[in-house]
Structures are given as C-alpha cells and as structure tokens.
C-alpha cells in the first residue's frame, strides 16, 4: 500500500511540475501536429493508407522521445534525484512514478495527435487506438529507464535516441501491424507481451541505474 502511495505521490509531483512550468506538453503537442502537417505535404498525392499509418508511428515515437528527453530534467536541475534516492522508499517507485507521469503526458498528446491524423490522412480505427495505448506503456516503461540512464551523461541528447530507438522498433512493428493487419489481435498480443516483459525488466533494473 505504501509502495502505491509513493508512486502516486511521485507521479502527482511530476504532473504538478508540468502544470506549473508547462515545459513539455506544449512542445510535444506542437511537435506532433507540425510533424503530421509536414508528412501531409511530403506524402505524394494518392499514397496509400499503409504509408500514412507508418508516418503516424514515426510521429508518435519521435514525440515521445521529445517528452522523454525532458522527463528527468527537474531532478537533474537541482539534484533532486539524489534526494529521492536517499529516501527509504523502494527505488523502483521513483521509476514507476515517472513512467506514469510520462504515460499521462503521452496519452494527452495522442488525444490531439490521433484526431489530427484522421483529419490529414485517414480515419483511425479501434485497432490503431488499442495499438497506441499498448505501445504507450512500452514507450513509457523503457523510455523512462533509458532517460534516467541518459540523464547521467553529459551527452544525454545523443545517448537517449541511440538507446531508445532500437528498443522502440518492436513497438513500431507491433503498432503498425495492429493498424494495418487483418489480424490485429496477434500484433496487440505482441505489444502486450513486450510491455509485460520490459516493465518487469525496467522495474527490476532501475535500482542499478540510480546506484553508482
């Protein structure tokens, strides 16, 4: 129970920080909409829906990357991560709280991005929505851990995409597959498996990321 309370307190802190500073969400929203506009004009007229679905996932992954790059910024600016690490709570709660707040940000952005995609390209089916929802979990669990690793590096802007993008490939494969396949269930199950596997791995390994 206290573990859940710690997670909620930490996630609520991140939401409060974002509501107050508005550092991340507006940038992510602007980025995803402008990316879709660019794709709209870049895609040749008459291009098929499959290409458009691929572009949606490119836009979502890079928008998530933008949010992840800022995820640990408040902790980095004032050394607050050390304050959290010193606290007697389970250190994985720090990761889970952060992943939850990133999930909220990403979901909020997709509330804007999916209707924008439908406006510029083609309607969004339930398969795509389900794929996006499942991929969000994978993006947030893996991305938050990798962002914490990158935050300790001087070259964090370079390190995070190099670490994150290879691990996001299965999510793109699963998401695009769920969106365009005639059997979306297989791809959704794949995304669910990815989420479960990496959530456990990230939960278990965060302790080592924040320990020297």
Shortest reach from residue 44's CB to another protein, in Å: 45
Q: Min. distance of Cβ 35 from another protein in angstroms? A: 28
Can residue 78 be called a binding residue for another protein (CB under 8 A)? yes
Per the listing, tokens 């933008």 go with: 66
- Enter the tokens of residue 26: 């507006």
Site for another protein in 190-209 (CB under 8 A): none
User: Closest separation between CB of residue 20 and another protein, Å?
Assistant: 5
Q: Report the nearest approach of another protein to the CB of residue 48 (Å).
A: 46
Q: How many residues bind another protein, per CB under 8 A?
A: 25
**Would you tell me the crossing angle of helices 49-71 and 91-120 to the nearest 10 degrees?**
150
DSSP H helical segments within the chain, as ranges? Answer: 2-21, 25-42, 49-71, 73-78, 80-86, 91-120, 126-151, 156-180, 184-210
Q: Which one of 1, 42, 45, 86 is in contact with another protein (CB under 8 A)?
A: 86
Least distance (Å) between residue 90 CB and another protein: 10
Position among 48, 82, 157, 183 found at the interface with another protein (CB under 8 A): 82
Tokens of 119: 């406006």
* Residue 73 buriedness (CB in 10 A; 0-12 / 13-18 / 19+): middle
**Nearest distance from C-beta of residue 27 to another protein, angstroms:** 16
Residues in contact with another protein, shown as a per-residue x/- string from 4 to 33 under the rule CB under 8 A = -xx--xx--x--xx--xx------------
User: Using CB under 8 A, which of 41, 42, 155, 211 touches another protein?
Assistant: 211
What is the spatial distance between Cα 8 and Cα 131, in angstroms, rounded to a whole number? 26
Residue closer to another protein (CB basis): 182 or 212: 212
Of 84, 65, 70, the C-alpha closest to 21 is: 70
Distance set, CA 16 to CA 7, 22, 71 (Å): 14, 10, 13
Give the integer Cα–Cα distance in Å for 168 and 162. Answer: 11
Per CB under 8 A, 83 contacts another protein? yes
Please state, in angstroms and rounded to a whole number, the distance separating the CA atoms of residues 78 and 87.
16
The binding track of 37-76 with respect to another protein, each residue x by CB under 8 A or -, is -------------------------------------x--
List interacting residues with another protein (CB under 8 A): 2, 5-6, 9-10, 13, 16-17, 20-21, 74, 77-80, 82-89, 211-212
């Amino acid at each position: 129970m206290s573990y859940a309370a710690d997670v909620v307190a930490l996630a609520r802190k991140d939401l409060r920080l974002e509501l107050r500073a508005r550092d991340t969400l507006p940038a992510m929203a602007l980025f995803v909409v402008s990316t879709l506009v660019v794709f709209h004009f870049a895609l040749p007229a008459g291009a098929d829906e499959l290409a458009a679905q691929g572009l949606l996932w490119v836009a979502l992954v890079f928008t998530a990357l933008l949010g992840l790059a800022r995820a640990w910024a408040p902790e980095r600016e004032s050394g607050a991560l050390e304050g959290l690490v010193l606290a007697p709570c389970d250190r994985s709660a720090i990761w889970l709280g952060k992943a939850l707040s990133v999930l909220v940000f990403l979901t909020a952005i997709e509330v804007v991005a999916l209707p924008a995609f439908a406006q510029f390209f083609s309607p969004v089916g339930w398969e795509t929505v389900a794929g996006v929802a499942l991929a969000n979990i994978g993006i947030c669990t893996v991305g938050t851990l990798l962002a914490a690793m990158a935050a300790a590096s001087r070259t964090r802007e370079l390190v995070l995409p190099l670490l994150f993008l290879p691990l996001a490939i299965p999510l793109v494969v699963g998401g695009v597959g769920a969106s365009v396949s005639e059997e979306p269930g297989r791809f959704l199950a794949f995304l669910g498996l990815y989420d479960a596997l990496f959530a456990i791995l990230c939960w278990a390994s965060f302790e080592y990321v924040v320990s020297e």
